[in-house]
Structure 1
Amino acid sequence: MSNALLENRDYTLIVAKTAASIATMPPGYENRWAAAHSAIVALAQTCEELDPDGITVYISSRDHSEGAFKRYEQVTPAQVDEIFQDNYPPETLSLLDGLQLALDEYSIRKTAKLTKQNGAIIIVLIDGEPLDRMKIAKAIAHAANALDSNNELGIGFAHIGNDLIARGFLSALDDDLRSRFGAKFDIVHTKVFQEIDPTCLTDFLTDILQR
């Protein structure tokens, strides 16, 4: 697949980090987010190169004045560090909140004919078992059923950590979105974040569309 399909597309990054996952994981788990930080910045940089007007970032935050997730628009890679530092993760988190915001935003922009020619890619960085798993699957299937083509919208889950329940759920979204959840298109691709080659991030983005 040519990189041309990755261009002229909006990119959204959802950072679903929880403090509880750090507290309950084995020693060294907290360092995984720190170790992944440079790769996250590189991912943001790659997305910005493809989306020059800046990416959209949703990040989980303990500050509930703006909901479970804070939204930042037209983010550049240089701003990613500041966004991480400004938001301490909550102890519990409903991924559905952030994902639904991103899906609704795409739907609104599409109705208003404001989306880019090739559509959008949503990347979700998640470290543990998400709440409301069935609601998440239904929300994604609903979004898939509103699409005009298979490559219009892609959702990539990058799993940080080794939570087996989370990994099993994400694998189900990847493998069974059509057969189990009734989606018209398979729009989900999942990957263990540590297995993504930081020097070939466009390969990960391409895989989100190829599935």
Structure 2
Amino acid sequence: MDILLEGGSVLRERDYTLIIDSSNSMATLEQSEGKSRWELLQESILAIASYCEQFDPDGITLYLFSDQFQRYEKVTSDKVIYIFEQHQPSGTNRLSPVLKDATDNYFGRRATEQAKANGETIIIVTSGEIENPTALRQIMIDAANQLNRDEELAIELIQVGSNSDVTEFFHILDDDLQSQGAKFDICNTITLSDLGAMSLMDVLLKAIVD
């Protein structure tokens, strides 16, 4: 399938941001694989970053977060593993501040006409054991209400692990954001297992046209 001719054009002229959970929960050993979540994640993140680079050749934005967050600008795929090697999981999952920074960054670039024509996709990979889920939901609603069109900003939540409470909360963000006051449905959620069964093009398209 030609990603640019058969539905892939919406992926072009778009910025891509990856937000990666580096909290202590990512050190959890997945018994079935014999590896930690952090180890299992690296291959998937490299694949996503390499794929996004096709559409965002000047480099993606990469965040790692736990109690605090670090933002890396214009990251090319060859730098992703190096950045991972500089971090080990620690601290708590404070996703709200990093998502607020990422959405504020997008709207700031849009206001100064630095954003790309098709908008931005934010991909969040997390265990989902979030410190303040109410704040996270409100950040998504506030972002949705600043958009000019549905596809302008897409947020893809990829759940690592199988915590049922997290799955339920993510489904609420995916399915019920508009009923809670959002102008558009900007959130889609999948699991890391789903990621292994889907093409990366489908992952990115599903985030935009859920």
Is 1:40 the counterpart of 2:39? The answer is no
Q: Which secondary structure does the structure 1 equivalent of 2:12 belong to?
A: coil
The residue correspondences of 1:154-193 to structure 2 (distance < 5 A) are: 154-179=154-179, 181-193=180-192
Deviations 1:90-119 (A, max 9, x none): 321210011111011001001111100000
TM-superposed deviation, 1:35: 2.4
Is 1:119 the counterpart of 2:130? The answer is no
- Aligned mates of 2:165, 2:96 — CA distance in 1: 17
2:92 corresponding residue in structure 1: 92
What amino acid maps onto 1:55 in structure 2? Answer: I
Q: Which stretch of structure 1 is more off in the superposition, 144-153 or 77-86?
A: 77-86
TM-superposed deviation, 1:135: 0.7
Aligned length: 204
Q: Which secondary structure does the structure 1 equivalent of 2:173 belong to?
A: helix
Q: Which secondary structure does the structure 2 equivalent of 1:151 belong to?
A: helix
Is this contact kept in 2: 1:42–1:198, CA < 8 A?
no
Note the residue ranges of structure 1 that are not aligned, 5 or more in a row: 63-67
2:109 corresponding residue in structure 1: 109
- Aligned mates of 1:61, 1:92 — CA distance in 2: 5
The residue correspondences of 1:132-171 to structure 2 (distance < 5 A) are: 132-171=132-171
TM-superposed deviation, 1:210: 1.0
What amino acid maps onto 1:185 in structure 2? Answer: F
What amino acid maps onto 1:193 in structure 2? Answer: L
Q: Which stretch of structure 1 is more off in the superposition, 85-94 or 157-166?
A: 85-94
Is this contact kept in 1: 2:26–2:127, CA < 8 A?
yes
Q: How high is the sequence identity, in percent, across the aligned residues?
A: 35
TM-superposed deviation, 1:8: 0.5
TM-superposed deviation, 1:134: 0.8
Q: Could you say what the CA RMSD is over the residues aligned between the two structures, in angstroms?
A: 1.9
Q: Which secondary structure does the structure 2 equivalent of 1:58 belong to?
A: strand
Structure 1 residues 91, 130: CA separation in 2 closer, same or farther (over 3 Å shift)? same
2:79 corresponding residue in structure 1: 79
Selected match of 1:7 from 12, 15, 26: 12
Q: Which stretch of structure 1 is more off in the superposition, 156-165 or 88-97?
A: 88-97
With the length of structure 1 as denominator, give the TM-score of the two structures: 0.90
Q: Which secondary structure does the structure 2 equivalent of 1:185 belong to?
A: coil
1:65 corresponding residue in structure 2: none
Structure 1 residues 129, 30: CA separation in 2 closer, same or farther (over 3 Å shift)? farther
TM-superposed deviation, 1:159: 0.6
2:202 corresponding residue in structure 1: 203
What amino acid maps onto 1:83 in structure 2? Answer: I
- Aligned mates of 1:50, 1:76 — CA distance in 2: 12
- Aligned mates of 2:34, 2:156 — CA distance in 1: 22
- Aligned mates of 1:41, 1:100 — CA distance in 2: 24
Is this contact kept in 2: 1:6–1:50, CA < 8 A?
yes
- Aligned mates of 1:32, 1:87 — CA distance in 2: 14
Q: Which stretch of structure 1 is more off in the superposition, 94-103 or 34-43?
A: 34-43
Runs of 4+ in 1 over 6 A off after TM superposition: none
With the length of structure 2 as denominator, give the TM-score of the two structures: 0.91
